[in-house]
Amino acid sequence: MRKELAFEDPVVAVDRGEAEPALVVDVDGFAGPLDLLLELARRQKVDLHKISVLALAEQYLGFIEAARSFRLELAADYLVMAAWLAYLKSRLLLPEPAKGDEPPAEELAQRLAFRLRRLEAVREAAKKLYDRPQLGRDVFGRGAPEPVRIDRKRDWDASLYDLLKAYAEQRQTKALSRVSFAKRFVWSLAEARDALDRLVGGGLDWTVLDDYLMAFVVDPAQRATVRASAFSATLEMVREGLIDLRQDGAFTPIFVRPRRPDIEEGASSA
């Protein structure tokens, strides 16, 4: 409870003289209403089993009344308990209704008495627990424990297979990375012109240019350079009036034939 709850006379209950009937209570010393009730019950100086709950309720209500007359603010749980005890008191004093939904007043009283006994028992247990030899207070462990030294032994995981694979792979990679620049093959325009001149000399009719050129291609990789140089050469030869070129559509084969004066008209009509 709060500081402002302290009574003028801060005498703790246990200091009270044997014969002193006055209720002198240090509210600060109580841990809640049940604790206060337990203290009040102890003052009945009877076994908690034989406690008069009615008397207890009256004492508690008297305490609350006294506290109020001092204009002390009481925490809500004290007031709730007071209300409940006032209710219990009236139930205990009045004759029991024949049949009620509520449990009989006697049972309510016994429940309260039970809770008080239980709280007291738990407190005793707590004290017994506290009185046990506690580590670091009454008994001590080894002050200088000797730590277990952990020798970390590293085991490296590598198999012969890993080793050989690593060796072979790097040697192979390295060996193959020694690139030599292969000389690039280029079919020169002169070579193309020579080849096409032979075509003209052969006196063939329309010929697919690619089919004709393939005869000169040694390596498929040379196809591009052969085609490029040959096409350039054919354009030159058309300009010179040596051959006719014909293509029927995009990406269709290019036809080529030697130009001959006798079929000039036909060619121009194509």
Partner 1 sequence: MKRSAEQRNMSDPSVFREGCRIVEALLFASADPLSGEELASRLPRDVHIADILARLREDYADRGVTLVEVAGRWTFRTSEDLSYLLAREAQETRKLSRAALETLAVIAYHQPVTRAEIEDIRGVSTHRGTLDSLMETGWIRLRGRRRTPGRPVTYGTTDAFLVHFGLTVVDDLPGLDELKGAGFLDGRLPPGFSVPVPSDDPSLREDEDPLEEDLFTRLAEEKASEVEEPLSDGEDA
Structure tokens at 126: 């707590």
Least separation, in Å, of the C-beta of 186 and partner 1?
26
Least separation, in Å, of the C-beta of 87 and partner 1?
10
Least separation, in Å, of the C-beta of 57 and partner 1?
12
Rg (CA), the chain: 59
Among 69, 93, 156, 268, binds partner 1 (CB under 8 A): 156
The H or E element that residue 256 is part of is strand 254-258
Q: How many residues bind partner 1 (CB under 8 A)?
A: 75
Least separation, in Å, of the C-beta of 76 and partner 1?
6
Asked if 258 contacts 199 with a C-beta cutoff of 8 angstroms, the reply is yes
Report 51-90 residues binding partner 1 (CB under 8 A).
75-77, 80-81, 84
Q: Which residues pair with 60 in a beta bridge?
A: none
Least separation, in Å, of the C-beta of 113 and partner 1?
11
Q: Which residues pair with 148 in a beta bridge?
A: none
Can you give 101-128 as a three-state secondary structure string? CCCCHHHHHHHHHHHHHHHHHHHHHHHH
201 makes contact with partner 1 (CB under 8 A): no
99 makes contact with partner 1 (CB under 8 A): no
Determine the length of the chain: 270
3 makes contact with partner 1 (CB under 8 A): no
174 makes contact with partner 1 (CB under 8 A): yes
Q: Which stretch binds partner 1 (CB under 8 A): 94-102, 139-147, 222-230, 235-243?
A: 139-147
Q: Which amino acid is at 2?
A: R
Burial degree of 189 (CB within 10 A; 0-12, 13-18, 19+):
middle
Report 237-266 residues binding partner 1 (CB under 8 A).
none
Q: Which is nearer to partner 1, 22 or 76 (CB)?
A: 76
